[in-house]
Amino acid sequence: HRPFAGALGAVVGRRLPEVGRPGQDVSILAGDDVDPATGRLLTVAELQQALQAALAVHAQRPRHPVTGVDTPPALLASGEDLAAAAPPVDDEALPAPSGPRWIARWTTPRTKTQRPPTAAPVTPATSMSAGSGRLAPAGFVGAAADVGWAWLTAPEPPRVMVCSAPGVGVEGTRVAALLAGVMGAARPTLAVDIGRGMAASLTHLVCGTSAERVSAADWLPQDPTQQPDLTLLPAGPSGTRVVQTGTPLWDQIAPRIPTRIAMVTDLGLVAHDDVRQLLVGHPGPAVMIARADSTGVTAALAALTDLDAEGLARRPLLVLTDAEGARPAALRAAQRLAQTAGDGVVVVPKSRELRACPIPASGWRKDLAGSVTALVAGLAEQDRPSLSLPA
């Protein structure tokens, strides 16, 4: 009897939890073949009758209001095969039951709500460069992103410098790598690493840990009139190329880069005299990275004051990096303090993406995507005269 009961359980599965003769509190699907009331073994004929009764109830079951079917195809096919193989049973020969002739308790399967598929991020038509035909990265959307993408893909390529205010955990090189990835998605871009620190190399953050750093002294041709070959430099996922150099070679690099190539330069700490000189003489937009706490913002404001005294033509966009995940109250206090400078402030939140090598150039978490969009849009606003953006 048990093999037959096991086969029955395999056929109807969990949709027929209990089927039995009147007055028999048994579960055929569990393999029970003993009537607990009398201790009598159920016969094969009784098990076959229970199966046919279950199939009859199943055939009369109303159709599902959503799917429009009354039984899974596999279950119906298997049930019909077993029913056809079972010998005919004369229902009139069975004794008349006092209650319902057949007891069949059905467990209604739960219908899982089907959520509509999540649509891929839609890039507005204005976020496409007519010259390059490149689309903005996933997550780089919205009105501010349209302004930023128009600036990145404009005929005049952006030249951005990134400096770090004094303080531990400023994360300036990581923000420079993030910006370099976005710029590389818009147009051919060269990232220049002037930072003196070796712990967070711009080459590794843009291209990956397996990339070998290339020095500008080895990369630049001996002939000063010859343009260097960018294909000799390591490239990141978005196509951005990276070169390692120092401030003495800057005057040889900048004039020899083709005018169609965008550039982002990681200057390192603004406390160094040569870094301040490059930043003061830079005509384009710039970024100053500070730690997202009162101490970090105070150091950044002091550095901006010193730069103003040295003749800074254009104040950098202030970016606060919350690498350690500051408490909301402390973060708000740092933002209010930073806004006393009178310029816009961008906060880069703590994120796994900024700890990756290479740092991804798209598909960021929502809060990081908003920071990237605000960063690029803020730089576009700084460079408004050259871009001729609408007010």
- Select the more confidently predicted residue: 192 or 105: 192
83, pLDDT greater than 50: no
**Mean pLDDT, residues 360-375 taken together:** 94
Q: How much is the average pLDDT of 369-385?
A: 90
Residue bearing the bigger pLDDT, 224 or 131: 224
Of residues 311 and 55, which shows the higher confidence score? 311
Instruction: Give yes or no for a cis peptide into 95 (omega within 30° of 0).
Output: no
Does 339 or 57 have the greater pLDDT score?
A: 339
More confident residue, 163 or 83: 163
* Count of positions (residues) in the chain: 391
Mean pLDDT of 38-66: 64
| In the predicted structure, residue 204 carries a pLDDT above the cut 60 | yes
> Between 344 and 355, whose confidence is greater?
355
Where does the pLDDT of residue 61 fall: very low under 50, low under 70, confident under 90, or very high at 90 and above?
A: low
Least confident range of 89-103, 262-276, 310-324: 89-103
More confident residue, 39 or 108: 39
Distances (CA, A) of 113 to 15, 63, 110, 391: 19, 18, 9, 47
What are the pLDDT digits (tens) for 98-138?
A: 444 333 333 344 444 444 443 333 333 333 333 346 888 98
Task: Compute the radius of gyration of the chain from its Cα atoms.
Answer: 36
Number of helices (H) and strands (E) in the chain: give both, helices first.
Answer: 13, 9
pLDDT digits (tens, 9 = 90+) for 288-334: 999 999 999 999 999 999 999 999 888 899 999 998 888 888 888 99
- Does pLDDT of 26 surpass 70? no
**Degrees, nearest 5: CA angle 237-242-245:** 165
Which comes out higher in pLDDT, residue 103 or 348? 348
Q: Side chain identity at 358, as an amino acid letter? A: P
